[in-house]
């Protein structure tokens, strides 16, 4: 029988791509979203439960009635700066909401749980590439909330046999323009969409800013590990399949093991758009590490997963989506 997977936050950026991957690989995804940041156009024609994870009664009712085989959990607030300004809101939404979801899954006899975590659980890196054995010392409430959820899942496995994988990923990028989905945050805080938006003729975006050019890197700008959102989605499906066969609760990095500087991202965007991109160098932001790169060996060994897309693939797909969809929304 076709396995039914509940996808919380399935109308959001990464969640909607996971929904697409589930459909492509023969699953039946059902989206749960409160549409505070998700988009109705991104639901891929799937069944949608409009609900909030903080509403315990409706959450329990939905999970018990629908008889799901697993949960993919993407619903979260995710802007680091906002988490610093309103930490209690982040703990209520991310931690309390996730606790409610875990309890509801157990009440509904769901045994498989894939969680969207973050490399922010590591805090300031002590070494790169970062492995899963790196100490977890998140430096903001967003990262702290994700780490708390990871720990809850470990304890839920120990006490209640809830199998889980928590994916710690680095910088999601790209889009699935053929499916009409891509990165559409308001406000947008990520580099690639902001670079591309600066290229749109009707863009009202301010001039692009590069935060610092005196880091100890090859061109002085920060290095980050950009992974295509379709590769991320594929890893989540592989993770769910792995849980069907293996009783574990574990954490896995998802990245490319290749970093790109801010200036290299801008050059890739110039190549994809065939446009010259202007920018200003401004003061570096406090707390920005010079280099963040993932070690993927655990994902390769455990899931037989490796990313396929390059940085140019990421920006090219994102650009096609921006041209075809984003500037019409």
Q: What is the pLDDT of residues 34-82, one digit of tens each?
A: 999 999 999 999 999 999 999 999 899 989 888 999 999 999 988 887 8
What lies within 8 Å, CB to CB, of 267 at 6+ separation is none
pLDDT, tens digit, 9 for 90 and up, residues 142-195? 999 999 999 999 999 999 999 999 999 999 999 999 999 999 878 777 899 989
Element (H, E) at 116: strand 112-116
pLDDT, tens digit, 9 for 90 and up, residues 80-93? 878 888 999 999 99
Note the maximum CA span of the chain.
Answer: 56
* Model pLDDT, residue 4: 97
Comparing C-alpha atoms, which of 145, 167, 176, 237 is closest to residue 13? 176
Question: pTM value?
Answer: 0.94
Q: At what angle do helices 13-24 and 229-245 cross, to 10 degrees?
A: 60
Dist CA 155 CA 172 (whole Å): 28
Q: Are 197 and 188 in contact (CB under 8 A)?
A: yes
pLDDT, tens digit, 9 for 90 and up, residues 197-230? 888 755 555 688 899 999 999 999 999 999 999 9
Active-site residue, selected from the candidate residues 13, 90, 142, 215: 142
Is residue 41 annotated as part of the catalytic site, yes or no? no
Query: 163-167, 253-257, 287-291, 313-317: lowest mean pLDDT where?
Result: 287-291
Domains of the chain: 4-170+228-254 (3.40.50.720), 177-224+257-328 (3.90.25.10)
Work out the end-to-end distance of the chain between its first and last CA atoms, rounded to an integer number of angstroms: 38
* Model pLDDT, residue 186: 80
């Amino acid at each position: 029988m076709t396995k039914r997977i509940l996808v919380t936050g399935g109308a959001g950026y990464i969640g909607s791509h996971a929904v697409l991957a589930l459909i492509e690989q023969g699953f039946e995804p059902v989206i749960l979203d409160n549409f505070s940041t998700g988009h109705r156009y991104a639901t891929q024609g799937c069944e949608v439960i409009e609900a909030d994870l903080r509403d315990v009664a409706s959450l329990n009712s939905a999970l018990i009635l629908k008889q799901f085989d697993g949960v993919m959990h993407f619903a979260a607030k995710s802007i680091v700066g906002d988490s610093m300004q309103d930490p209690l809101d982040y703990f209520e939404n991310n931690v309390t909401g996730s606790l409610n979801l875990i309890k509801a899954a157990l009440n509904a006899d769901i045994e498989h749980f894939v969680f969207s975590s973050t490399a922010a659980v590591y805090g300031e890196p002590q070494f790169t590439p970062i492995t899963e054995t790196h100490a977890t010392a998140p430096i903001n409430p967003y990262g702290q909330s994700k780490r708390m959820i990871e720990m809850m899942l470990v304890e839920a496995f120990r006490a209640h046999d809830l199998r889980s994988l928590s994916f710690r990923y680095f910088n999601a990028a790209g889009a699935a323009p053929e499916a009409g989905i891509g990165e559409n945050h308001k406000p947008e805080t990520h580099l690639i969409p902001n670079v591309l938006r600066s290229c749109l003729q009707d863009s009202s975006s301010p001039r692009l800013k590069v935060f610092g050019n005196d880091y100890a890197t090859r061109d002085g700008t920060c290095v980050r590990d950009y992974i295509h959102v379709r590769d991320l989605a594929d890893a989540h499906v592989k993770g769910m399949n792995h849980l069907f066969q293996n009783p574990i609760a574990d954490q896995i990095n998802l990245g490319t093991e290749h970093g790109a500087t801010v200036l290299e991202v801008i050059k890739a965007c110039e190549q994809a758009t065939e446009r010259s991109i202007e920018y200003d160098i401004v003061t570096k932001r406090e707390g920005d590490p010079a280099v963040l790169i993932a070690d993927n060996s655990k994902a390769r060994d455990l899931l037989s997963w490796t990313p396929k897309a390059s940085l140019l693939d990421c920006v090219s797909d994102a650009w096609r989506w921006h041209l075809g969809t984003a500037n019409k929304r």
